[in-house]
Structure 1
């Protein structure tokens, strides 16, 4: 399966059919796909994904994102991670679940997390 990666802010991607892996990293990006049979992954704030027919996977990570799907097919997946994100399916807004930052289940407090990150970066 081919993989397309696009990096930068304010990028616009339009595809008729997506049978591949499409990864977009940047803020204020717009992705428009008529038929998604592969995987769309967008990482950034204020991004928008518009899919007419979804057979594959859509992942959105970032705040203030918007995913619009006209027709979902059984077995497809849509995952959204971030605050103030919206999912609209067939003109109706769906809940995206809660967003809550979490610490590692093995850490007692934030100092443990910062210590482990600092040690890793210093190596």
Structure 2
């Protein structure tokens, strides 16, 4: 499998058909692919990935990114890692759930949690 690597900020990559591994590393990058049969991996903040037909894999790592797909086909895979990333499929926006730390329902404040953890670690 061929590997295409692009490194740098504010890069724009356009491909008609991707049948290999396309790896883009940098902030504010834009990747446009008409038909994805391979793998697209984008690492950076404020990046955008636009795919018309996705048969392969798309992975976006970083914050404030957006993945726009017109058609998803069986067997494709999309993975978004980072805060405030968005996935848009056929014009419908799907937010990625973000997870936040929560206090135990049995504790009144943060000091109760820290004290119980501290005593557990010291044992």
Question: Which residue does 1:54 correspond to in 2?
Answer: 54
Q: TM-score, normalised by structure 1?
A: 0.79
State the partner residue of 1:112: none
Bigger-Rg structure (1/2) = 2
Contact 1:56 1:77 in 2 (8 A): yes
Cα deviation digits, residues 60-81 of structure 1 (max 9, x gap): 0000000000000011000001
Q: Secondary structure of the equivalent of 1:64?
A: coil
**Residue 97 of structure 1: CA displacement?**
3.0
Report the equivalent of 1:21.
21
Q: 1:20 to 1:92 in 2, by over 3 A?
A: same
Q: Distance in 2 between matches of 1:82 and 1:75?
A: 23
C-alpha root-mean-square deviation of aligned residues, in Å? 1.8
Count of matched residue pairs: 104
Give CA-to-partner distance per residue, 1:7-26, whole Å, 9 cap, x none.
00000000000000000000
Distance 1:35 1:86 in 2: 20
Gaps of 5+ in 1: 102-107, 110-123
Compared with structure 1, are the counterparts of its residues 14 and 100 closer, same or farther at alpha carbon in structure 2 (3 Å cutoff)?
farther
Judge conservation of contact 1:81–1:99 (CA < 8 Å) in 2: no
Q: How does 1:1-123 map to 2 (within 5 A)?
A: 1-99=1-99
Question: How high is the TM-score relative to the length of structure 2?
Answer: 0.79
